[in-house]
Chain A
Amino acid sequence: MRILIVDDSAMMRAMIKRVIKLADVSVDEVFEATNGAEALELLKQHDFQLLLTDINMPVMNGADMLREISLNERWRNLSRVIISTDGSTVRREEAEDLDVRCYLEKPFSPEVLRDVLNELADSEFAETE
């Protein structure tokens, strides 16, 4: 599995990478982007199976990036997870319209993200069996 982490905080990206290592998922490569625009460029260059993204970021925020992704057939099978401080009901409803598999609200414990990753990996495996 190739994973893309999108967050403007270097610390948060490092923390997510650490949790990925703890999860029971087979990972080929982990890429990082600091905003939605950078992420879209990486998505054009590589094939990813999982996108973990923040919402509030400079240059291009996560919601705008996810709208772009939802318009492109190439990224139809990309699993999308939001990891954001914004826990508002409006943002959660918006995420449903953008084919987001899981909405994880900051702060979260590493175990919660690890479980989400394991569940996603299990469901992907079940779908491809």
Chain B
Amino acid sequence: MSSTNSPTVSLPKLSDPATASAMFEAVRSVAEHSFFAVAEPGDERSFAAQASAVPSWLVATVRFEQGALQGTVACTMPTSLARGLFDAFAGRDPSEPEPGAELVHDLVGEFSNMVCGAWLTRVASSRTFTLHHPIVEPVSTPRDARGPRLLAVIDDVPVAVEVTLKAEPQTES
């Protein structure tokens, strides 16, 4: 078997248009296939407007390792959207009891898990990876972007996806 986990191979950053496009396709695929939701590209202005208007958000962070590379993919979405996605995923009838916070957190964690895996498969399909159990945090306001992030709209509700890489791409001199 070839050395597919070579430490000299790096992941492209989200600032790269092709990488950002792969991330959007990952979000769209997860939204459509598993949650029967429609995903469209988003923008900073509408996200900022929602960030101040929506009082409750969930951030699900998935840590990944791919050879020598480590990083995280964090999805931020309003709690109301998470509950809507829960209903679609679980097939919950409106007459049934509302799911507890633990199940909604699990749902958002699985959403991020699938987005992370679908993105890694798209940008580096020849390399296997490890995903760690998602960490889900409720927040009242989405944190400011620490770098380039992908903004999308799922069922008319804004979502942010942020990627951090701990091993920087190696540059050739």
Contacts and interface: CB of A to CB of B under 8 A. Distances in A.
Interface of A: 8-12, 14-15, 18, 56-58, 61, 84-91, 93-94, 105-109
A12 B128 CA distance: 22
Interface residues of B, number: 33
B34 A8 contact: no
A107 to B, nearest CB: 4
Nearest to B26: A107
B126 A89 contact: yes
A18 B90 contact: yes
Interface stretch (B44-52, B104-112, B144-152, B156-164): B104-112
A61 B116 CA distance: 17
Interface of B: 1, 4, 29-30, 32-34, 86, 89-91, 103, 106-107, 109-110, 113-114, 116-118, 120-121, 124-133
Contacts of A12: 110
B117 A87 contact: yes
A90 B4 contact: yes
B89 A15 contact: yes
Nearest to B105: A11
A109 B106 contact: no
Contact of B109 (A9, A57, A90, A108): A9
B117 A109 contact: no
A18 B118 contact: no
Given A105-B121, A108-B34, A88 B127 contact: yes
A15 B89 CA distance: 7
Nearest to A22: B91
